[in-house]
Amino acid sequence: MDKDEGKKNHDVIDEDLYEEFDDEELYELVQEERRKAFEKDRQEKEERKSKRPFPKWAFWLIAAVMAFNVVALLPQTFSIPAIDFLMTSAKLSTSEDIQADKEAVVVIETEDSKGTGFAVTSDGTILTNHHVIEGEEEVMVAFPEEGLFSAEIKDTYPQIDLAVLETNASQQFPHLTLADETNFEQNEAIHFIGNPLQFNGIANEGNIIGYTQLEGWEEEVLMIEAPVYRGNSGSPVMNEEGEVIGVIFATLNHDTHGRVGLFVPIDYYYAHSQ
């Protein structure tokens, strides 16, 4: 694997993935995509009309069918992020393994916003990004099944944007298994679970591109071709064996690959926590 790939491609990096998404922004995105779709459909209809007459009875028949099926057709007609990743999550969540993994992924709440974290031990040790909890001494974490708990900041590793939290509960928690090291093949499939935009417990998938060097970082990080959004900071990245190989922390506009997700290899956590 060539670790020098994309070494100087650090044009635009978004480290604020944990900030709340503006509902108006999402609404405007939906409306804009709808407008484009309707305009494209209108133009295509005009082109067809100019070529040959179109029977009125056929037009009304199509209109009736579309009216009855509009709800079912919307997700396939309008390719917008909010619909795409929800459909993917629903598909992935039919897997019992994904369902079990979701139980270990938490919502991390601060005064201003939310992010993602995940339990790595049965006693409630949680791994997340440093920028998600920066400036906090205690945060609230919500498990899907166990409920809401307070958690203290135990350790922080700002140089690799990771942090470790400890819950204040004396009970057993579902947790994920960390890989011994971040081994992968180029274009290898991965999946991740997080709390993007205004949603919680969303599973998604992608492929590993390779390493890149960020300005201000001593260590290289890994790029993934995947739909990563605000709220995904702290999401566990898992291989096909279900082991965590890294933690999502940002996105990057790459010169070659376009908008990509970035994650910290789990090896760095081991190296800094010893």
Looking at residues 52-75, what average pLDDT do you find? 52
Residue ending a domain, choose from 167, 194, 209: 167
Q: Note whether 119 and 145 are same-domain residues.
A: yes
Q: For residue 19, is pLDDT > 50? A: no
Q: Note whether 130 and 42 are same-domain residues.
A: no
Q: Quick check: is 214 in a domain?
A: yes
Q: Note whether 234 and 161 are same-domain residues.
A: no
Q: Note whether 37 and 80 are same-domain residues.
A: yes
Looking at residues 43-55, what average pLDDT do you find? 61
Closest-CA residue to 202 (of 98, 132, 57, 109)? 98
pLDDT at 80: 52
Looking at residues 69-78, what average pLDDT do you find? 43
Q: Note whether 143 and 209 are same-domain residues.
A: no
The boundaries of the domain holding residue 265 are: 12-20+177-273
Residue ending a domain, choose from 62, 92, 122: 92
Higher pLDDT, 46 or 123: 123
User: How many beta carbons lie within 10 A of that of residue 242, not counting itself?
Assistant: 15
Q: Note whether 148 and 196 are same-domain residues.
A: no
Per the structure, the count of domains in the chain is 3
Q: Note whether 88 and 101 are same-domain residues.
A: no
Q: Quick check: is 7 in a domain?
A: no
Residues with Cβ < 8 Å from 58, sequence gap 6 or more?
Answer: none
Q: Quick check: is 172 in a domain?
A: no
Q: Quick check: is 248 in a domain?
A: yes
pTM as predicted: 0.74
pLDDT at 77: 39
Looking at residues 170-195, what average pLDDT do you find? 94
In the 8-state DSSP scheme, what is residue 159? G
Q: Note whether 72 and 152 are same-domain residues.
A: no
| Across 80-84, 116-120, 173-177, 190-194, least confident range | 80-84
Q: Quick check: is 194 in a domain?
A: yes
Q: CATH code at 213?
A: 2.40.10.10
Q: Note whether 157 and 211 are same-domain residues.
A: no
Phi, psi values for residue 107, rounded to 5°: -90, 130
Q: Note whether 46 and 70 are same-domain residues.
A: yes
pLDDT at 138: 92
- Euclidean distance between CA atoms 265 and 211, whole angstroms: 10
Q: Note whether 234 and 263 are same-domain residues.
A: yes
Q: Note whether 31 and 118 are same-domain residues.
A: no
pLDDT at 202: 93
Q: Quick check: is 102 in a domain?
A: yes
Residue ending a domain, choose from 73, 92, 111: 92
Whether 141 contacts 120, CB under 8 Å: no
pLDDT at 47: 66
Question: For 200-231, what is each residue's pLDDT tens digit?
Answer: 999 999 999 999 999 989 999 999 999 999 89
